[in-house]
């Protein structure tokens, strides 16, 4: 019986090793924990398309939006650790949510294995043209004249646009109302319709409308100006020194995924990030593409959790 069990175990190990060596043999799902239309979705589709060509298998984007990235991240964490489910991880799902929620249905560090960074991108303080502001100083003055009358939207409670708005309020002393949506797409739709006033939006999602003068971008949230909008000042240089908030994007897989598969995915992502078409699309999205080792991503994720916990406390946001 022992011989039989050992034989079966060896066969299973050999079969598993062969499956990893041939990986991938079927389509791969990339869970984007936000609805279609926002920067996470747009960037995720660019990466998925590039990886599809390299791997010889379709990498299919699966939008699972809601709860500031929690729903999609939980689905990914509970998926089979076989390399066929990837998570487009990032600022909200992996770094902000731990500081916002006392009980998350997943642990960003324990339930996931990091694969690689994809890049970073600033946001753009965007207003509807009907709002009589053309600068950060104009916005502050209007908000001071109309306390509690202006509103700012976000892709959900605790997302980077929400925290950017709260930090802006905290640093200026103004009073604005936060209106959370279930994703960047719906928030942008209402901003375009003039039903809401302003949005710390991902540049990629609002840039076409800014160019068409359907929206007005007044400042970027990065420490330095972005090449996509070189004439648009930063919030910091517009009168709020020290204001800096950005978004980062990465790929993670369920924690028990085989190291050989993680190594293969990491190598493919690093190649993908050098592809001319991907670099061109990232530039259009105002994103700076760069990869990392899994270990570097793990260390960065830990530092981001600490950073955002401090920001949440400073903004006076109470964990749910």
Residue 260, classified by CB atoms within 10 Å of its CB into exposed (0-12), middle (13-18) or buried (19+), is middle
- pLDDT, average across residues 261-270: 98
Residue 143 has pLDDT above 50, yes or no: yes
In CATH, which of 3.40.190.10, 3.40.50.970, 3.40.50.150, 3.30.470.10 is domain 122-238?
3.40.190.10
Architecture of the CATH domain 27-120+247-314: 3-Layer(aba) Sandwich (3.40)
Average pLDDT over the chain, rounded to an integer: 90
- In percent, the amount of the chain with pLDDT more than 90 equals 68
Least confident among 53-62, 133-142, 306-315: 306-315
Confidence bin at 19 (pLDDT 50/70/90): low
Least confident among 156-160, 211-215, 285-289, 299-303: 156-160
Confidence (pLDDT) at 319 = 64
Q: How many CA atoms lie within 13 A of 148 on its CB side?
A: 0
Identical fold, 27-120+247-314 and 122-238:
yes
Question: β-strands 288-289, 112-127: how paired?
Answer: antiparallel
- pLDDT, average across residues 303-307: 90
Confidence (pLDDT) at 66 = 85
Distance of CA 160 to the CA centre of its chain: 8
Domain ranges of the chain: 27-120+247-314, 122-238
The two structure tokens encoding residue 156: 């959900």
Confidence (pLDDT) at 2 = 46
Q: In 173-314, which ranges are continuous DSSP H helix?
A: 184-192, 203-211, 259-272, 276-284, 294-314
Question: Among candidates 238, 241, 254, which has minimal Cα distance to 74?
Answer: 254
**More confident call, 9 vs 114:** 114
Confidence (pLDDT) at 15 = 44
């Amino acid at each position: 019986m022992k011989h039989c069990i050992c034989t079966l175990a060896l066969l299973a190990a050999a079969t598993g090793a062969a499956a990893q060596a041939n990986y991938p043999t079927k389509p791969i799902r990339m869970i984007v924990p936000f609805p279609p239309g926002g920067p996470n979705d747009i960037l995720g589709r660019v990466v998925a398309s590039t990886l599809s060509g390299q791997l010889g298998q379709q990498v299919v984007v699966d939008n699972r939006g809601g709860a500031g990235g929690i729903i999609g991240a939980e689905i990914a964490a509970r998926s089979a650790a076989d390399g066929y489910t990837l998570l487009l991880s990032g600022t909200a799902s992996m770094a902000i949510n731990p500081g916002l929620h006392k009980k998350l249905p997943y642990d960003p560090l324990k339930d996931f294995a990091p694969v690689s960074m994809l890049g970073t991108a600033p946001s753009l303080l965007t207003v509807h043209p009907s709002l009589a502001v053309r600068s950060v100083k104009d916005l502050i003055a209007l908000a001071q004249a109309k306390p509690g009358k202006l509103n700012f939207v976000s892709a959900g409670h605790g997302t980077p646009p929400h925290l950017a708005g709260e930090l802006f309020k905290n640093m200026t002393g103004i009073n604005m109302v936060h209106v959370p949506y279930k994703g960047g797409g719906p928030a942008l739709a209402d901003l375009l319709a003039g039903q809401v006033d302003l949005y710390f939006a991902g540049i990629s999602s609002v840039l076409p409308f800014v160019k068409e003068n359907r929206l007005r971008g007044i400042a970027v949230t990065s420490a330095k100006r972005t090449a996509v909008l070189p004439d648009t000042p930063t919030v910091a240089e517009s009168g709020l020194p020290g204001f800096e908030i950005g978004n980062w994007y990465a790929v993670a897989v369920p924690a028990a995924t085989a190291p050989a598969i993680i190594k293969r995915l990491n190598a493919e992502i690093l190649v993908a990030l050098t592809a001319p078409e991907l670099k061109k699309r990232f530039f259009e999205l105002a994103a700076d593409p760069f990869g990392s080792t899994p270990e570097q991503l793990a260390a960065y994720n830990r530092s981001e959790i600490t950073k955002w916990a401090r920001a949440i406390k400073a903004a006076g946001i109470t964990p749910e």
